[in-house]
Each structure stands twice: as C-alpha cells, then as structure tokens.
Amino acid sequence: MPFDNRLQKNSLAAQAAGLPAAWRAAFDTPVVARALADVTAHVEQRLADGAVVYPATPFRALDGLAPSDVRVVILGQDPYHGPGQAQGLAFSVPDDCKRPPSLRNIFAQIAQDCPGTPLPRGNDLSRLASQGVLLLNTSLTVEDGQPASHAKRGWETVTDALIALVARDPAPKAFLLWGAHAQAKRALLPNNSGHLVLMANHPSPLSARRPPAPFLGCGHFAQVNAWLADQGKTPIDWTTEEGDVRQGEFGL
C-alpha cells in the first residue's frame, strides 16, 4: 500500500502559520500575503468539494532548513500527481515508489559526475535536504491526476518570495535551474551576489538529451561540489554508501 500523501481539509493554513518565522518573513508584503490567502482558500475549497490534493505536507521543503542553511537550490514545477508519490520535496518520491523518469535522469547524471560511487536504490531525497539542498516546487499542491492543476492560483507568487528570500541571504548559494520554467526564476537572483547559477534542460526524457543545453552531461553536481570546495565548504554528498547502483546501470 502506498503511503497516504493526501492533503487533509483545513490543514494548509495551519501548516503555513506553523512555519518558522525566518520563512514566514517571505510573506510579509501585502502582495505575497494576499497570494498565500488566495491559494489557501482555493485549495481548501477544492478539498471541501471532494478533490484529492497532494502532498500531505506542501511546505515540507522548508522543514528543518532555515534560509541561512540553504546551500543549493533545485527547483521543480509542481508535485507528482499520483497516489503515494509527492512528498513535498521536488523530484523526490518514497523509496518504495516507482522511480519517475526525471529522477532516473537525475541519478544518471549523479552517477556520471561521481563515477564508481554507489548510489541509492531508494528515491527519497531527504538526505539531500538534510545537507542544505532546498528542493522546492514552484507550485506546492496539485490535484490527483491533473498536473499543473494548481498553477497560476497564487503559488508562484509565494514561492518566488521564498526564492528571493534565500537569494538575499549573504552566503552565496548554488542555484540549479533546469528547464525554461526554472530558468525564468533567474530574474529573482541579484546580480553580483556571488551565487553560482547553472542552467540546463529539464531532466524529463522529453528534453534531457536535447540541445541547446542537454541535462544529461551537464556536470552540475560535480560543478557544485567544486564550487563549494573552492569556498572552503563541505561538498554535498550526492550519493550514499547504502546503495550499489553504479554508473553502468544507467547506460552512460
């Protein structure tokens, strides 16, 4: 049985109110506060109408990770729209869930960037979040079987504010912008901020190998770690000793 990743009625507003003050600061402006209120009202109404909405914890990407703790930002679009998939972390699904194609390509690129290093057999990316990788979707909820169903309802204004909050932190971050949707957020990153900004196609099989900037072969994971090392910071452990999936299994 897949785990129950359905959002419950009347829980979204409570989750937003329960965020740490450092994150809630992103909602201080009237425009963002109104967007959050609007999308919350829409989601709660859809739940009242009987819609199934995922995930159970839309703000999970912010759990246990202060804005100042963020070292790398990876942006997704909206949550997976099937039962037992979305966890509130972009691109992540539970370990016992079938690996989505985009995540498979992400692991393939990690294998290429870290040759000979065991990779996880599971699919839960919480281990990256615990190292300061913000895995943020630009829409935080979705309805069952309806991708992008909560896009343009206010989430983008909310998550833009979260991205801008992270980008204003004095410590430089690495931003991995995959695909046109994520690359549109480049405008939120201040010039001369010292951030590392890497762009490539989306890891979806529809675009991962296509020009002008194929995701497969982009080398982003190795570039991030080299950049962190140059600053005297601990690199991200993109892999784990618990797995035994190696480069050859991805056909690279």
- Output 203-210 pairs: Cβ under 8 A, ≥24 positions apart: 203/91, 203/102, 203/103, 203/105, 203/106, 203/109, 203/178, 204/101, 204/102, 204/105, 204/179, 205/101, 205/102, 205/105, 207/179, 208/102, 208/105
Quick one: which of 176, 215, 212, 173 has its CA closest to 190? 173
Residue tagged active-site, from 38, 78, 95, 169: 78
- What are the phi and psi torsion angles at 23 (to 5°)? -85, -40
Q: Are 159 and 56 in contact (CB under 8 A)?
A: no
Element (H, E) at 45: helix 30-48
Task: Find all residues with CB under 8 Å of 215, minimum gap 6, and list them.
Answer: 105, 109, 178, 200, 201, 202, 203, 207, 208, 209
The token pair that represents 7 in the structure block? 């959002």
Q: Are 47 and 136 in contact (CB under 8 A)?
A: no
Active-site residue 78, yes or no? yes
Report the Cα–Cα distance between both ends of the chain, in Å, rounded: 33
- Catalytic sites, residue numbers: 78
